[in-house]
């Protein structure tokens, strides 16, 4: 049998998109959302998020269809549109997001196991981190066995993780109590039921709700990242949109139905994974058992999917000379071995830091979400640039099917709308992320600059890698990173 990795068809690509999005976040969504928003604000936040994420998915679909030769678009779009340094900004941010997602999900996994064996103290004590370390290295060994085996396992796990989600939705729909949902439409954590609702309070709730929901959709670009391994390039865009719409419906139902089972105050006080305790309140102890078991399966799939995306990002970035050349090494089974070693090694380091800093699942995923926003923003901006310039819209190889008979100007207008909306959505979320999360990401970017500085083939040294504007941006990142480190050390962060 050939060791060449098997190309991925539509179903594996959809599985990767859905599996990368449906992880631990969906099972923690009831409490995470209730801590920041009442049911009315949550509903508005989901509608706005749905529109924004759909535009983001359509952006990736448009770019994948228009430029199918650009493998791993999350890296290549930024690089093609704005140069190597911006390509690094996108690649490093995306890798950070996935790597931190692995760390956060490892903590959440042992938090779920704590329900069955109460010895893990929320998933971030020494025993939990020790066992999490063993797990990530076992998954590392599976991935080194090749893409063929890893993607096959991922499809099975994705199907299995949908069962508890669908059961949760069915049961909470039966026990949904509309007066409970309506009672907490606009309440905040500090407001009195007798106080009038202020528009600024509602706006703040919606902003926070939208930022929380972004965590749910990390992975929407999964098919785009692995486009170089797709059997048919046309499947990349299809998998992105199909996976996104299906996942959006599931997330909205699970989150909003919870407000009709328990009050907002009760939801906000639930432990992680909060969906387990919502189902327990509706159906009894077996509900919590089912959700925690489903969460464990779900997280195992997420860990595998995110590791694949992380390694592929470093692998492609290295081949484009955005990362050091050694990261492009593959083993005999076609797995990006060097990138896998770097990803797993970094995850191991952060797991140790979790113990030392007593980091929580929520704190980790907020930083991961912030890191993912820059790659999304740059991809949207690239589509805007491409639509405005008209490049790739007039070549016969890039024409749309005749069934879509539209003039080139209408196609460009539509895709310009996709890009502009996705760009504004990503920009708003960067604002919603808050200064602390942005500073933490800058600190992590500063380490990435070392990799970029020594990634080129020129002999001018690391400084010659930067043009004047790029040197200014890099310097600003370093200054903000030092400031962030100061705040962290002094306890003011």
The per-residue pLDDT for 65 is 78
In contact, 237 and 65? CB cutoff 8 Å: yes
Query: Which residues face 230 on adjacent strands?
Result: 8
Which residues of the chain carry a pLDDT beneath 50? Answer: 1-4, 189-194, 196, 395-407, 458-460
The per-residue pLDDT for 402 is 39
- Global pTM value: 0.79
The per-residue pLDDT for 405 is 38
């Amino acid at each position: 049998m050939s060791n060449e990795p098997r190309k991925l068809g539509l179903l594996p690509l959809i599985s990767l998109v859905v599996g990368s999005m449906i992880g631990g976040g969906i099972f923690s969504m009831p409490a995470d959302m209730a801590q920041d928003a009442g049911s009315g604000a949550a509903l508005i936040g989901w509608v706005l998020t749905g529109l924004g994420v759909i535009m983001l998915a359509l952006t990736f679909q448009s770019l994948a269809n228009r430029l199918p030769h650009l493998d791993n678009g999350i890296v290549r779009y930024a690089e093609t549109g704005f140069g190597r340094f911006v390509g690094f900004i996108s690649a490093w941010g995306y890798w950070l997001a996935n790597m931190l997602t692995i760390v956060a999900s490892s903590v959440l996994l042992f938090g779920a196991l704590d329900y069955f064996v109460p010895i893990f103290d929320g998933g971030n004590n020494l025993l939990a981190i020790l066992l999490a370390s063993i797990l990530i290295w076992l998954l590392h060994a599976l991935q080194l066995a090749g893409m063929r085996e890893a993607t096959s396992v991922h499809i099975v796990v994705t199907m299995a993780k949908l069962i508890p989600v669908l059961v949760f939705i069915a049961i909470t729909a039966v026990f949904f109590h509309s007066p409970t949902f309506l009672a907490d439409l606009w309440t905040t954590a500090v407001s009195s039921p007798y106080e009038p609702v202020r528009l600024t309070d509602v706006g703040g709730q919606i902003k926070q709700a939208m930022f929380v929901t972004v965590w749910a959709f990390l992975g929407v670009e999964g098919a785009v990242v692995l486009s170089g391994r797709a059997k048919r390039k046309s499947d990349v865009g299809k998998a992105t949109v199909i996976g996104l719409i299906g996942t959006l419906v599931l997330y909205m139902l699970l989150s909003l139905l919870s407000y009709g089972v328990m009050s907002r105050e009760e939801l906000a006080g639930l432990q992680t994974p909060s969906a387990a305790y919502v189902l327990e309140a509706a159906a009894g102890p077996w509900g919590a058992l089912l959700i925690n078991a489903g969460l464990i399966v779900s997280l195992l799939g997420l860990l595998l999917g995110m590791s694949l995306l992380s390694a592929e990002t470093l692998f492609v970035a290295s081949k484009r000379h955005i990362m050091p050349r050694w990261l492009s090494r593959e083993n005999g089974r076609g797995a990006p071995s060097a990138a896998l070693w770097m990803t797993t090694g970094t995850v191991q380091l952060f797991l140790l830091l979790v113990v030392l800093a007593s980091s929580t699942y929520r704190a980790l995923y907020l930083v991961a979400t912030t890191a993912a926003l820059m790659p999304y923003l740059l991809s949207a901006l690239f589509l805007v640039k491409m639509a405005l310039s008209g490049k790739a819209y007039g070549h016969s190889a890039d024409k749309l099917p005749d069934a879509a008979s539209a003039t080139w100007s209408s196609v460009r207008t539509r895709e310009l709308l996709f890009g502009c909306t996705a760009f504004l959505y990503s920009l708003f979320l960067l604002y919603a992320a808050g200064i602390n999360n942005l500073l933490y990401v800058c600190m992590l970017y500063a380490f990435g600059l070392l990799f970029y500085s020594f990634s080129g083939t020129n002999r001018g040294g690391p400084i010659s890698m930067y043009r004047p504007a790029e040197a200014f941006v890099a310097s600003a990142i370093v200054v903000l990173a030092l400031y962030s480190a100061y705040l962290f050390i002094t306890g003011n962060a």
